[in-house]
């Protein structure tokens, strides 16, 4: 593997918490779908900060808004009304099922807010015994204790027991399993419309519709975690639009401000009313800088043809991956929607990630055997060709 910035890497190994198995690479600059390391070498970035930089690195509109807002007001307390916060909430509600928005700083915080809101709503309506949440196996919802408890992967739980009680996990894409699990204690069902960290698992076309009907029938809230797949990643502003099944609560983060930390909970008015002053809060949530950038991101996605481009280039990438699967029998599956794509291998994908890095392409491996591709939504066909050619060359070595 190419090593750049050796001294800085050694210092990082000494002073940073050991929470990431970092690659020996120091990234110092980005533009569009390209990043550069400390040695000046360029890379095609098909990670995009893990589905964060949907508009690409240093998008000129984003940079301009950051510069302008930083000169005006970066932070103030939520004791006062914040204009960009209201503007972003209005945009999110206007283009979704929702009526009200709570802002925070990350996907995990948004999950925590969703858990609290669901339990508060159910307690007030049905009584305090209705607190359980059904989540999915192989799901991922964050690292804080509530979000971790909702996450359906034991490897993330190790060393952190006891977890928060009140969570049950059932197989993903199995409506009958959810129906069997719902009981008088159930307040909500929590699901990713497409599982990201769990291996880019796309459910059956009618899965979310059936969940919606089941939740309506049992007076159970339906919560979508759109932290990774929201904000245009699947080719529509929100992934649930692909399935025509709106939730009661939705969580957003990652790409909502294209790299500026932000999280959001979007909810119907009937559910959101359960939050009253003092029941939940966030010091930095909805700060002027993050929400001003969020407004820019929403407007750019909707006005610059990016969603259509995502659908078109996503189909092109998918077709290219299918051709590779036909050529190499160790590729066992190709999955995805829009520009969240993956190919599953018959062996660990970690060495493939390293070889791609050597050749100037950054990709990600999840669930050990799944190569995940999350390029910026502004990625070009030529850049996708480069990704596919790089994969082809490396697969030929296997």
> Max CA-CA distance within the chain?
61
Q: Where in the sequence numbering do the catalytic residues fall?
A: 140, 225, 254
Distance CA 262, CA 290 (A): 6
Condensed to tens digits (0 to 9), the pLDDT of residues 357-397 reads: 999 999 999 999 999 999 999 999 999 999 999 999 999 99
pLDDT (average), residues 140-160: 98
Strand 132-136 to 167-170 pairing: parallel
pTM here is 0.97
Predicted confidence at residue 4, as pLDDT, reads 60
Average pLDDT over all residues of the chain: 98
Residue 295, phi then psi, degrees to nearest 5: -60, -45
Condensed to tens digits (0 to 9), the pLDDT of residues 18-49 reads: 999 999 999 999 999 999 999 999 999 999 99
Q: Which two tokens stand for residue 185?
A: 């204690």
Terminal-to-terminal C-alpha distance of the chain: 17
Q: Residue ranges of the domains in the chain?
A: 61-303, 306-365
Taking the alpha carbons of 87, 98, 234, 47 in that order, is the dihedral positive or negative? positive
Taking the alpha carbons of 52, 108, 203, 152 in that order, is the dihedral positive or negative? positive
Q: Provide the edge-to-edge strand list for the sheet that holds 340-345.
A: 331-337, 340-345, 370-373, 364-366
Choose among 302, 297, 298, 293: nearest CA to 67. Answer: 293
Q: Helix, strand, coil: what percent of the chain each, to 5?
A: 40, 20, 40
What is the CATH number assigned to the segment(s) 61-303? 3.40.640.10
Distance CA 280, CA 271 (A): 14
Name 251's bridge partners.
225, 265
Predicted confidence at residue 5, as pLDDT, reads 81
3-state secondary structure 240-256: HHHCCCCCCEEEECHHH
CA 390 to chain CA centroid, Å, is: 26
């Amino acid at each position: 593997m190419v090593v750049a910035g050796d001294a800085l890497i050694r210092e990082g190994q000494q002073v940073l918490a050991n929470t990431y198995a970092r690659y020996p690479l120091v990234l110092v600059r980005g533009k569009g779908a390209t990043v550069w390391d400390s040695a000046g070498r360029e890379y095609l970035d098909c990670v995009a900060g893990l589905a964060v930089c949907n508009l690409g690195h240093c998008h000129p509109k984003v940079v301009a808004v950051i510069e302008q807002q930083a000169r005006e007001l970066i932070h103030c307390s939520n004791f006062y009304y914040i204009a960009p916060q209201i503007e972003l909430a209005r945009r999110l509600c206007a283009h979704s099922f929702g009526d009200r928005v709570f802002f925070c700083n990350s996907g995990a915080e948004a999950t925590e807010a969703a858990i609290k809101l669901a339990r508060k709503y159910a307690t007030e309506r049905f009584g305090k015994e209705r607190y359980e949440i059904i989540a999915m196996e192989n799901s991922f919802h964050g690292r804080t204790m509530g979000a971790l408890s909702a996450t359906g992967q034991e490897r993330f739980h190790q060393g952190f027991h006891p977890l928060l009680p009140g969570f049950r996990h059932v197989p993903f894409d199995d409506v009958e399993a959810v129906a069997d699990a719902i009981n008088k204690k159930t307040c909500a069902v929590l699901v990713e419309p497409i599982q990201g960290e769990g291996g880019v698992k796309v459910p059956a076309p009618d899965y979310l519709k059936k969940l919606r009907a089941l939740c309506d029938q049992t007076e159970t809230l339906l919560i979508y975690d759109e932290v990774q797949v929201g904000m245009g990643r699947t080719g529509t502003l929100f992934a649930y639009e692909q399935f025509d099944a709106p939730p009661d609560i939705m969580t957003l983060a990652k790409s909502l401000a294209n790299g500026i930390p932000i999280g959001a909970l979007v909810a119907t008015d009937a559910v959101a009313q359960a939050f009253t002053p003092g029941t939940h809060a966030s010091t930095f949530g909805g700060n002027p800088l993050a929400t001003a950038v969020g407004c820019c991101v929403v407007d750019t996605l909707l006005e610059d043809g990016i969603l259509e481009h995502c659908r078109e280039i996503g189909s092109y990438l998918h077709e290219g991956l299918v051709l590779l699967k036909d050529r190499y029998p160790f590729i066992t599956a190709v999955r995805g929607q829009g520009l969240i794509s993956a190919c599953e291998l018959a062996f660990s994908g970690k060495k493939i990630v390293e070889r791609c890095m050597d050749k100037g392409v950054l990709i990600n491996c999840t669930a050990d055997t799944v190569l995940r591709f999350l390029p910026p939504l502004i990625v070009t066909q030529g850049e996708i060709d480069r990704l596919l050619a790089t994969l082809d060359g490396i697969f030929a070595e296997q």
